[in-house]
Amino acid sequence: MARKGGDRRGSNGDRAARRRWLVSPESGRMENGEWVTFEGDGETVPCWWYCGRILNVYTVEADRIEPGGSYRRDNIVPACRPCNLARSDDADLTEQEIAERVAATAANRGSLVPALVG
Protein backbone atom coordinates (compact mmCIF):
# COMPACT_ATOMS: atom_id res chain seq x y z
CA MET A 1 0.00 0.00 0.00
CA ALA A 2 1.42 3.38 -1.00
CA ARG A 3 1.88 6.02 1.66
CA LYS A 4 0.11 9.34 1.19
CA GLY A 5 2.69 11.72 -0.20
CA GLY A 6 4.35 8.81 -1.99
CA ASP A 7 7.93 9.18 -3.13
CA ARG A 8 7.83 12.95 -2.61
CA ARG A 9 9.07 12.40 0.95
CA GLY A 10 12.42 11.23 -0.40
CA SER A 11 14.87 8.74 1.03
CA ASN A 12 15.80 8.41 4.71
CA GLY A 13 18.83 10.56 3.96
CA ASP A 14 16.66 13.22 2.30
CA ARG A 15 14.33 13.34 5.31
CA ALA A 16 17.25 13.54 7.78
CA ALA A 17 18.79 16.41 5.78
CA ARG A 18 15.41 18.17 5.77
CA ARG A 19 15.14 17.87 9.58
CA ARG A 20 18.70 19.20 10.01
CA TRP A 21 17.86 22.17 7.78
CA LEU A 22 14.66 22.91 9.73
CA VAL A 23 16.60 23.34 13.00
CA SER A 24 19.47 25.28 11.37
CA PRO A 25 19.90 29.06 11.77
CA GLU A 26 19.65 29.42 7.97
CA SER A 27 16.15 27.93 7.74
CA GLY A 28 13.09 30.06 7.07
CA ARG A 29 10.65 31.08 4.36
CA MET A 30 9.48 34.06 2.37
CA GLU A 31 6.26 35.65 3.60
CA ASN A 32 4.85 38.76 1.96
CA GLY A 33 8.19 39.41 0.28
CA GLU A 34 10.22 39.20 3.50
CA TRP A 35 12.46 36.43 4.80
CA VAL A 36 11.12 35.01 8.06
CA THR A 37 13.52 32.77 9.98
CA PHE A 38 12.33 29.65 11.79
CA GLU A 39 14.58 30.74 14.69
CA GLY A 40 16.54 27.50 14.81
CA ASP A 41 19.94 27.51 16.48
CA GLY A 42 21.35 24.34 14.92
CA GLU A 43 20.14 22.19 17.81
CA THR A 44 16.52 23.26 18.40
CA VAL A 45 13.70 25.18 16.72
CA PRO A 46 10.26 26.27 17.99
CA CYS A 47 7.14 24.77 16.46
CA TRP A 48 5.93 27.12 13.70
CA TRP A 49 2.34 27.01 15.02
CA TYR A 50 3.22 28.80 18.28
CA CYS A 51 2.27 25.96 20.62
CA GLY A 52 5.46 26.64 22.58
CA ARG A 53 7.13 23.29 21.98
CA ILE A 54 10.86 23.32 21.33
CA LEU A 55 11.88 20.68 18.81
CA ASN A 56 15.17 19.04 17.92
CA VAL A 57 16.35 17.10 14.89
CA TYR A 58 14.64 13.96 16.26
CA THR A 59 11.26 15.53 17.07
CA VAL A 60 10.80 18.13 14.32
CA GLU A 61 8.47 17.31 11.45
CA ALA A 62 8.28 19.02 8.07
CA ASP A 63 4.71 20.33 7.87
CA ARG A 64 3.73 21.20 4.31
CA ILE A 65 2.05 24.58 3.92
CA GLU A 66 0.30 23.35 0.78
CA PRO A 67 -1.13 19.98 1.88
CA GLY A 68 -0.27 17.24 -0.56
CA GLY A 69 2.37 19.46 -2.16
CA SER A 70 6.06 18.79 -2.35
CA TYR A 71 8.60 18.88 0.44
CA ARG A 72 10.52 21.76 -1.14
CA ARG A 73 12.00 24.19 1.36
CA ASP A 74 9.55 26.89 0.31
CA ASN A 75 6.61 24.62 1.22
CA ILE A 76 7.62 23.33 4.66
CA VAL A 77 7.75 24.68 8.20
CA PRO A 78 8.96 23.04 11.44
CA ALA A 79 6.11 21.48 13.40
CA CYS A 80 5.65 19.24 16.40
CA ARG A 81 3.74 16.00 15.88
CA PRO A 82 0.53 17.20 17.60
CA CYS A 83 0.31 20.40 15.54
CA ASN A 84 1.16 18.58 12.32
CA LEU A 85 -1.55 15.99 12.98
CA ALA A 86 -4.05 18.62 14.10
CA ARG A 87 -3.55 20.65 10.95
CA SER A 88 -3.74 17.52 8.82
CA ASP A 89 -4.63 18.44 5.24
CA ASP A 90 -6.55 21.58 6.22
CA ALA A 91 -4.32 24.46 5.10
CA ASP A 92 -6.87 27.12 6.04
CA LEU A 93 -6.85 26.55 9.80
CA THR A 94 -5.91 29.48 11.99
CA GLU A 95 -3.32 29.10 14.73
CA GLN A 96 -6.18 29.18 17.27
CA GLU A 97 -8.01 26.36 15.48
CA ILE A 98 -4.83 24.28 15.43
CA ALA A 99 -4.36 24.91 19.18
CA GLU A 100 -7.98 23.88 19.82
CA ARG A 101 -7.51 20.64 17.87
CA VAL A 102 -4.31 19.84 19.77
CA ALA A 103 -6.07 20.50 23.10
CA ALA A 104 -9.04 18.34 22.07
CA THR A 105 -6.70 15.48 21.14
CA ALA A 106 -4.94 15.75 24.50
CA ALA A 107 -8.26 15.78 26.35
CA ASN A 108 -9.69 12.82 24.42
CA ARG A 109 -6.57 10.63 24.41
CA GLY A 110 -4.73 11.82 27.48
CA SER A 111 -1.67 12.49 25.35
CA LEU A 112 -0.31 15.24 23.16
CA VAL A 113 1.22 12.73 20.78
CA PRO A 114 -1.61 10.44 19.63
CA ALA A 115 0.48 8.71 16.97
CA LEU A 116 2.91 7.44 19.60
CA VAL A 117 0.34 6.24 22.14
CA GLY A 118 0.83 2.51 22.63
**Per-residue pLDDT reduced to its tens digit, 59-82:** 999 999 888 888 999 999 999 988
Tens of pLDDT, residues 2-52: 445 455 678 889 999 999 999 999 999 998 999 999 999 999 999 998 788
Which one-letter amino acid corresponds to residue 109?
A: R
Percentages helix, strand, coil for the chain, rounded to the nearest 5? 35, 20, 45
pTM for this predicted structure: 0.76
pLDDT per residue over 41-59, tens digit each? Answer: 999 999 998 788 999 999 9
Q: Is the predicted pLDDT of residue 113 greater than 70, yes or no? A: no
Q: What is the pLDDT of residue 37?
A: 96
Residue-averaged pLDDT of the chain: 82
Give one word for 82, left, alpha or beta, with left for phi > 0 and alpha for psi -120 to 50. alpha
| Distant-in-sequence, close-in-space partners of 89: CB < 8 Å, separation ≥ 6 | 67, 68
